[in-house]
Amino acid sequence: MLKQTLSQKLLQKLSPQQIQFVQLLQLNSTEIANKVDEELAENSALEQSSQESDEEIKPDEDAILAMDEEVDSSDDDISTSDYEPDISEYLSDEDNYQNYTPDYSSGEERKEIPLASYRTLYDTLLEQLQAVELNERQMKIASHLIGMIEEDGYLRRPLKSISYDLAFINNLQTNENELEEILLIIQTLDPPGIAARDLRECLLIQLNRKEEQSDEIKLARKIVTYYLNELANKHYDKLIKNLEINKDYLKKIIDIITKLNPKPGESQVNFKSQYIIPDFIVTQISESDFDISLNSNNSPQLRINKEFQEKLEGYNEQKKKSKKLKDELQFIKQKLDNAKWFIEAIKQRQQTLLMTMSTIVEYQKDFFITGDYTKLKPMILKDIADRISMDISTVSRVVSSKYVQTDLGIYPLREFFSEGIMKDDGNEVSNREVKRILSDLISAESKKRPLTDEKLTELLNEKGYNIARRTVAKYREQLNLAVARLRKEL
C-alpha cells in the first residue's frame, strides 16, 4: 500500500529579474548590443535616447505596485467601481529614469570600436563558380555543395546524405555519381584543397595541382596515399625501408608535404576573418593609475517611451473607467515593468563589469604596466569574488568570453587567471610563467632528440620550479604541444 506523507522543504529560487541579470551578465559586447535591439523591438515601452535628450520618464516602483493593487482589487464591472490609482509620481519628469551612460559632454573621447566587414568562404567560392560553364541544374547542385563546406574547407557530409537533402529541400533528384562529378569541379577552385572529404584527399588535391610534377612530387603523392599514418606517427625508419630511399631524400619529401595546407578554408584572411570586439578599455593615464571604461556597445542609453506617459496622462483624465481601459492599463503596466527591469539589469550589469575589471587591474597592476607575463600574480576567481563581495559564479560570468583592450594589446579576461606554483625560494608564481618557460625549452630543443616530459621536469626543477612530471605533461597538452616522439624530425 502506498503511504502518503507530508514534508516541508526550504527552496531558494531566482526571481525573473535575477535570471534576466544573470543572462545579461554573461553576454559580451556584441551579444549585449543584439539583446538590446531585440528588447527594443519587443517592448514598445522602451526606447533608445539621444545624448541631448532631457525629458525622460521614471516609472516609480511604489506607483507601479499601487496601480497593480488597484487593478487586481477592482470589480469586474469597473465602470461602477471607484478606480482612481494615484499615478502623479509615475508621470513625474524629475529624477528621470535612465540607465547609466558615460558623460561625453565634457569633451571626453567616446570610445567606439570600428567593425570590419568581410567576405565569407561561401561568397568567394560562389564567385569563382560563375566562371565555370554549368547549366542551371548543375549550378544549383554546386551551390548546395559549397554551402555544405565547413569553415576549415572540408566537405564532411556524405554525398548520399547530400542527395537526400537536395531531394527534400530543393525537390531535385540526383545521385552520388552526379554529385561526385560536380564536386571534382569545385575542387579545382581556390584555395587548393578546398572541398576535400578528408586530409588525404586534401593533400592529394594540392600535390596534383603542382605545376612541376617531379619525382619528388610523385613520391610525396605515394606517401600521402599509402603511408599517411606512418608519416603522422613519424615512423621514419619504416618509410625508409618500404620506399627504399635514404634519410636525406625522405626529409626532402617530408618538407614538400609539410608545406601543404591541411586547412584550406582558413588559409587566407580574405576568406574568413574574425574580429575581436573588446568589452573593456584600459588606458594608463599615469605611472600607476588607469582609466577603465566599457566600450559603447556595453553602455546603451535606454529610457521609458514618452508615448506611454501620454497614455497614462490620458487615463488619468478619464472619469469613467471601462473594461477596455482596464485591459489597456494592464498592458501598459506590464510593458513598463519589463522596461524598468531591463534598464535596471543593464545598469547593474555595467556596474558589475566595471567593478570586476577595476579589481582585476588593481590585482594585476604590474602586468598592465609592463606587459611582462612573469609579473602576473597567481589569481583565481575566488580572489576577485572576495574583493568585490560577490559570488564566484558572478565573476565567472563576467570573465567568460570577454576581452579587454589595453595599451599593450587585446587580451581575454581568462588570461589573467591562473593557479599558483610555489618555487624553491618560497615565492609563489603563476603557472603561466611555468608554461612560457616550458614552451621556450621545447622551442629551443634539438628536433632530432626532443626533450621528454621527464627531461623537461628535470630542467624546470633545476630552475626552481618544483612540479611533477604529470603536471608538465598537462601544461604541455594545454599548450597544444605534442609528445617528444611526435616532435622528432629527421
Instruction: Read off the pLDDT of each residue in 381-399 and give the average, rounded to a whole number.
Output: 91
User: What is the dihedral sign for C-alpha 386, 388, 390, 396?
Assistant: negative
Percentage with pLDDT > 90 across the chain: 41
**The dihedral formed by the CA atoms of 317, 319, 325 and 327, expressed in degrees to the nearest 10:** 110
pLDDT digits (tens, 9 = 90+) for 234-278: 899 999 999 999 999 999 999 999 999 999 987 654 444 457 889
pLDDT digits (tens, 9 = 90+) for 118-130: 568 888 999 999 9
Q: What does the pLDDT read at residue 433?
A: 83
pLDDT digits (tens, 9 = 90+) for 210-226: 988 899 999 999 999 99
Q: What does the pLDDT read at residue 69?
A: 45
Predicted confidence (pLDDT) at residue 353 exceeds the cutoff of 90 = yes
Instruction: Read off the pLDDT of each residue in 16-27 and give the average, rounded to a whole number.
Output: 80
Question: What residues contact residue 145 under an 8 Å CB cut-off, 6+ apart?
Answer: 155, 162, 179, 182, 183, 186, 195
Mean pLDDT score of the chain? 80
Q: What does the pLDDT read at residue 422?
A: 76
**Residue 100 class from Cβ within 10 Å (0-12 exposed, 13-18 middle, 19+ buried)?**
middle
- pTM for this entry: 0.55
What count of residues does the chain have?
Answer: 490
Confidence of residue 352 (pLDDT cuts 50, 70, 90): very high
pLDDT digits (tens, 9 = 90+) for 303-340: 888 777 677 666 766 666 677 777 777 777 788 888 88
Q: How many CB atoms lie within 10 A of CB 377?
A: 16
Q: What does the pLDDT read at residue 319?
A: 65
Q: Does domain 420-487 have CATH number 1.10.10.60?
A: yes
Confidence of residue 10 (pLDDT cuts 50, 70, 90): low
Instruction: Read off the pLDDT of each residue in 370-384 and give the average, rounded to a whole number.
Output: 88
Confidence of residue 59 (pLDDT cuts 50, 70, 90): very low
* 3-class SS letters over 309-376: HHHHHHHHHCCCCCHHHHHHHHHHHHHHHHHHHHHHHHHHHHHHHHHHHHHHHHHCHHHHHHCCHHHC
Percentage with pLDDT > 70 across the chain: 80
Q: How far apart are CA 129 and CA 265, in angstroms?
A: 16
* 3-class SS letters over the chain: CCCCCCCCCCCCCCCHHHHHHHHHHCCCHHHHHHHHHHHHHHCCCEEECCCCCCCCCCCCHHHHHHHHHHHHHCCCCHHHCCCCCCCCCCCCCCCCCECCCCCCCCCCCCCCCCCCCCCCHHHHHHHHHCCCCCCHHHHHHHHHHHHCCCCCCECCCCHHHHHHHHHHHCCCCCCHHHHHHHHHHHCCCCCCCCCECCHHHHHHHHHHCCCCCCHHHHHHHHHHHHCHHHHHCCCHHHHHHHHCCCHHHHHHHHHHHHCCCCCHHHCCCCCCCCCCCCCEEEEECCCCCEEEEECHHHCCCEEECHHHHHHHHHHHHCCCCCHHHHHHHHHHHHHHHHHHHHHHHHHHHHHHHHHHHHHHHHHCHHHHHHCCHHHCCCECHHHHHHHHCCCHHHHHHHHCCCEEEECCEEEEHHHHCECEEEECCCCEEEHHHHHHHHHHHHHHCCCCCCCCHHHHHHHHHHCCECCCHHHHHHHHHHCCCCCHHHHCCC
Q: How many CB atoms lie within 10 A of CB 60?
A: 19
Cell 575589471 -> residue: 357
Instruction: Read off the pLDDT of each residue in 356-385 and give the average, rounded to a whole number.
Output: 90
Amino acid 244 reads: E
Predicted confidence (pLDDT) at residue 172 exceeds the cutoff of 50 = yes
Which cell numbers hold the place of 332?
501598459
Q: How many CB atoms lie within 10 A of CB 53?
A: 14
Q: Pick from 369, 391, 274, 305: which is nearest to 21 by CA?
A: 391
Q: Ramachandran region of residue 474, left (φ > 0), alpha (ψ -120 to 50) or beta?
A: alpha
Amino acid 81 reads: S
Strands 409-412 and 403-406: antiparallel
**Residue 460 class from Cβ within 10 Å (0-12 exposed, 13-18 middle, 19+ buried)?**
buried
Which cell numbers hold the place of 261?
595546407
Confidence of residue 143 (pLDDT cuts 50, 70, 90): very high
Instruction: At 13, give phi and psi (nearest 5°).
Output: -125, 145
- CATH 1.10.10.60 positions along the chain are 420-487
Confidence of residue 13 (pLDDT cuts 50, 70, 90): low
Q: Pick from 448, 436, 449: which is nearest to 479 by CA?
A: 436
Q: What does the pLDDT read at residue 254?
A: 93
Give the range among 185-194, 284-293, 312-321 with minimum mean pLDDT: 312-321
Instruction: Read off the pLDDT of each residue in 358-379 and give the average, rounded to a whole number.
Output: 90
- Angstrom CA distances, 196 to 145, 174, 224, 272, stand at 11, 20, 14, 18
Confidence of residue 71 (pLDDT cuts 50, 70, 90): very low
